[in-house]
Amino acid sequence: MTPRIERFADQGCLVVKGPDRPGIVSAVAGAIARNGGNILQSDQFTSIDDEPIFYQRTVFHKENFTASIPDIEADLQDTLLSVGLDWRLIDRSTPKRMIVLAPKSDHCLLDLLWRQQRGELPVEIPMVISNHPDLREEVEYFGIPFHHVPSQGADKSEAEARIMELVRGKADFMVLARYMQILSESFLRRIDVPIINIHHSFLPAFVGAGPYRMAWERGVKLIGATAHYVTPELDAGPIIEQDVTRVDHTFSPADLQKHGAYVERATLSRAVQAHAEDRVFWHGNHAIVF
């Protein structure tokens, strides 16, 4: 049985994207009102391009929304296509399925599990997959299935095939909770769901492995973390969320790593929440976050 988020019962979320033109906001509001919806929140943005693109996210309430979805979608198909918009209608009471890939380190993973259990993240977690067995007990404490998929050496094809087998049809998006394995372009193409990564650095500086030592060697006074979507180019996908904390010359690389862990947890959780609430739009290599 699909779980339900009661605080979002009878709430729809309409997200639209298309070439900017007069009348879009009126068309969206009119379609919602015509179907008995009451707008609770609306955000919009028009890109700064030679050919501007319009983005809008509108949350509305409607009694018996879930049962009304087919009728509303039929209306939207006629109304919004006529003004050149792509659109999605989302039932906010249905949580997104988030599968987490994790390593030995537990700080980002356990923060996500804790927030999900408290109802702070509108997701369900079908499973956690790790390339180490160490976190099985902690994950299963939350009642979540744990799968150990070793990933050793340069050839990751066997591990990726096993992950694909576990994940297919069970995830709306995935999260790399400090999972330090590079996913192949073939895997990213075949998995066909968004993947969010937390990089323990304030990108685009200090790309790749060992950013805290690189930061220490440069004598930085701010360290940070970046949550971004995964693309074939390493640590170069659209940035969803970033944060920093101040450090000084007395900090060792280990001190930087310890303080950075706090920032990583918060940054990743905010990015996951934004994605799960359909507040993120891709615009080229930018992420527009409402």
- Cα-Cα end-to-end distance for the chain: 31
- For the question of residue 235 being annotated catalytic, the response is yes
The DSSP symbol for 286 reads E
Short-list 87, 70, 86, 85, CA closest to 35: 70
**Distance, CA of 288 to CA of 285 (rounded, Å):** 10
The torsion angle over the Cα atoms of residues 157, 125, 264 and 236, rounded to 10 degrees, is 40
Diameter over CA atoms, the chain: 63
The two tokens of residue 188 are 């990213």
Classify residue 177 as left (phi > 0), alpha (psi -120 to 50) or beta: beta
The amino acid at residue 110 is L
Q: Which residues pair with 53 in a beta bridge?
A: 19
**Distance, CA of 34 to CA of 103 (rounded, Å):** 49
**Distance, CA of 198 to CA of 260 (rounded, Å):** 12
CA quadruple 73, 55, 267, 108: dihedral sign: positive
Given 50, 71, 91, 235, which residue is catalytic?
A: 235
The two tokens of residue 177 are 């909770």
The torsion angle over the Cα atoms of residues 151, 153, 154 and 157, rounded to 10 degrees, is -40
Inter-residue long-range contacts of 47-51, CB under 8 Å, 24+ positions, other chains counted: 47/20, 47/283, 47/288, 51/19
Active site residues: 235
